[in-house]
Amino acid sequence: MDRATGVGGRSFEQLIDDIYEVPLGAAGWKALAPALQDHLGAPVAMFLAHGADVRVLGDAGPVSGAGMLDYADHLWRDDRGMSALRSAPAGEIIVDSSLISDPERRRSGFYNDLLGAHGLDRGLYASIASGSEGMMFMAAQRSARQGDYDLSEIQALRRLLPHLRRSYRTWLHVREAERQRGAVLQAADAMAVGVALVDQDGRLRYANHAAEREMSRGTLLVTNGRLTCRSPSSAKVLGGAIRAATRDKLPAGERLCLRPLEQGATYLSVLVVPVRDALDPGWRPDSLAMLLISPSEPPAASEGSLLQTYGLTAAEARLLAALVGGERLPDYARRCGIAVTTAKTHLRALFDKIGERRQSDLIRRASLDPLLRAAPAKTRIGAPPR
């Protein structure tokens, strides 16, 4: 038989295209099985065997559904062709008529009950690839009335094996990447820190559970698919940081403190960092990562972290740390040996630099700001609501 085209008229080149589409398509090997059946002129099934674990990757033909489940569960143990492939090198092709006689077929649950029920009693097997993940193999079954597989049919299968092997290796890599991606997303959803990915226009690409919770509280929100803030001033600051990050203008990231629209509500701290191409770090990023941090307990505010986060002098940071720790302004002045008026001058400088108007708001701000626990970076603060 001329196998330049299959029984259904599909060319060899079209079949090769189908083979290399497997790792990219959602249907995978299931979509390829009918094309292989068309080319080989016999029902085809593909399997992955690892020890006693046999999985059906794709099949086409009368044996499907419950029959395939029975094969994967236990009937594979009677399959002489598959047993022979386990000890054969990758690329081996076996015709099972040389492995089992007709009387033996009639006594076998696999050959008589499963295949025989559909008139299939001539098998052609091929080992596609073998490794630590197991052995991938395929089997074509047809009726004895069609006779054994001749040399041209075996050669038709042999021409396909290198392409099937390369596609299978690519499929394994894609599968592993998807598995790792799934693990990362599960880990992200388990984090207390919110993580979101947006593009240069602020369009939301991904948000973990913690980020979604923050958005539901109102300081951050999604409008027309874009991540923004309810407070116009905070929205302007956030948008600017996003645009800078996507243009790779923030090599160390930028910390923001986004103010809520309502007076007295909790601030939301955001660390904006560029997302770079891991394979080509010089490639311009088209998305960025945002860490949205909302701690349940106030972090300790050290003088060093206060100084770096808010751009304070040493004296201002020392005063703010004392106030956060519960010390009264006169007591602080007495302990430091300075006049109360000097301490009040430092306090006014804190109001100006941090953007608060009352001492209680200043203390709450420094107590709740989670960025004080993060690595040093530039911090910008949204203007207060009007």
Same domain, yes or no, for 23 and 171?
yes
Domain count within the chain: 3
The last residue of a domain, from among 239, 264, 295? 295
The answer to whether the Cα torsion of 231, 234, 238, 239 is positive or negative is positive
Do 107 and 219 fall within a single domain?
no
Specify if 1 maps to a domain: no
Structure confidence at residue 164 (pLDDT):
96
> Given this model, what pLDDT does residue 3 score?
45
Examine the domain organization and report whether 67 and 104 are in the same domain: yes
- Expressed as residue numbers, the domain containing 363 is 303-373
Question: According to the model, what pLDDT value does residue 266 have?
Answer: 64
> Among 59-68, 301-310, 352-361, which is the least confidently predicted range?
301-310
Which of 295, 314, 344 corresponds to the end of one domain?
Answer: 295
pLDDT of residue 121: 87
- 154-168: per-residue pLDDT in tens? 999 999 999 999 999
| Residue 320 host element (H or E) | helix 314-324
Instruction: Please write the tens of the pLDDT for every residue from 139-156.
Output: 999 998 888 899 999 999
* Residues 247 and 271 reside in one and the same domain: yes
Q: Each residue of 204-216: pLDDT tens digit?
A: 999 999 888 888 8
3 state DSSP class of 284: coil
In a domain, 30, yes or no: yes
Q: Among 341, 339, 361, which Cα is nearest to 351's?
A: 361
Same structural domain for residues 263 and 337? no
**CATH code where residue 155 lies:** 3.30.450.40
Query: Residue 231's pLDDT is what?
Result: 79
Residue 354 lies in a domain: yes
Neighbours of 139 (CB within 10 A): 23
- The answer on pLDDT for 371 being more than 60 is no
Whether residue 53 sits in one domain with residue 162: yes
Statement to judge: residues 137 and 260 lie in one domain: no
Task: Tell me, yes or no, whether 287 lies in a domain.
Answer: yes
Decide if 385 is inside a domain. Answer: no
Q: Is residue 170 part of a domain?
A: yes
Do the domain assignments include residue 386? no
Q: Which of 179, 204, 234 is the last residue of a domain?
A: 179
Q: Are residues 224 and 90 in the same domain?
A: no
pLDDT at 283 over 60: no
Mean pLDDT of the chain: 82
Instruction: Note whether 209 and 281 are same-domain residues.
Output: yes
Judgement on whether residues 215 and 161 belong to the same structural domain of the protein:
no
Same domain, 170 and 237: no
CATH of the domain at 364: 1.10.10.10
| Backbone dihedral region for residue 274 (phi beyond 0: left; psi -120 to 50: alpha; all else: beta) | beta
Residue 383 domain-assigned (yes or no): no
Residue 383 has pLDDT above 60, yes or no: no
Residues 284 and 224 in one domain: yes
In this structure, are residues 339 and 214 in contact, taking their beta carbons and an 8 Å threshold? Answer: no
